[in-house]
Amino acid sequence: MRLSVLDHGHRRRAKLFLALTSRSSGVDSPDIVKMLLYRPGFGSRPLLELTADAMRGPSYWTAGEREYLAMATAQVHECPFCAVTHAELTRIAGTGEIDPSDPASARPELAAVRVFLENVSRDPAHVDATAVAGLPRQAVLDALRVNLVWNVVNRLANAFGFVLRDGQLETGTRSLHRSGYRFPRFLLADGPRTELADVAARLDGDLPEPLRAYAQTVREASHRITDADVERLRSAGHSEDEIFEVTVAAAVGAALTSFEAGRRAAGV
């Protein structure tokens, strides 16, 4: 990962958990798990609660269909880490109702909401809700909640340089599915809880350059971020913790903007 603190900056309990799970599985902990357990009070707790409910709670959409929508969002953001992961999770969580490699296998309602969510993710200033006009309001809201989660995570995966290492796809996806996207509570007890809206508000004031340009890239084209971009921030005197906060705030802010735009357009 591009920030060393996401590899080595965890609290003792998280380090022990990561070491034990890696030893038992024979595979290094995935980057997404490491990131979520670094400073979990800064947005991770509410994000994980939302994720568990959106991906495995009661919904108009099956678990496999929600994984398919997560994969589609990852494709919009050009996030290979998430696209491959959710394609595999579509197969694991589904009961054969959807083939992640064949868009034609989606039922008409799923195909329609995918078009809508892609529009929400790409251009929240001009959302067209025509595709979902015939869907139940709750179905659209359920889909928007899935989209909100992965509009955050895809940006973080791109910005922090997540990669899939040998064995992680198989062990990581099955572990996520078994746990229902829930983490042990003791791992997330880290100081005051910062809600997602409060995380996003960290960017309300003017940022100095080059942080301002970096945050804009996280929001608009996270797949373009490179090691050199992060190194430029370090060279300008910004700590890794500061870079982490700005990245998370920019990703959450952009995702909330898309979510609200989608809700307004669809009237949900």
Q: Could you read off the pLDDT of 64-94 as tens digits, one per residue?
A: 999 999 999 999 999 999 999 999 999 999 9
Distances (CA, A) of 251 to 19, 101, 240: 28, 27, 16
Question: Rounded to two decimals, what is the model's pTM?
Answer: 0.95
Inter-residue contact 70 to 86 (CB < 8 Å): yes
List the chain residues with pLDDT less than 70.
Answer: none
pLDDT of residue 259: 98
Q: What is the pLDDT of residue 176?
A: 87
**What three-state secondary structure class fits 109?**
helix
- What is the structure's pLDDT at 25? 86
If you ran DSSP here, which 8-state letter would residue 195 be given?
A: -
Q: Map out the domains of the chain with their CATH numbers.
A: 5-192+250-266 (1.20.1290.10)
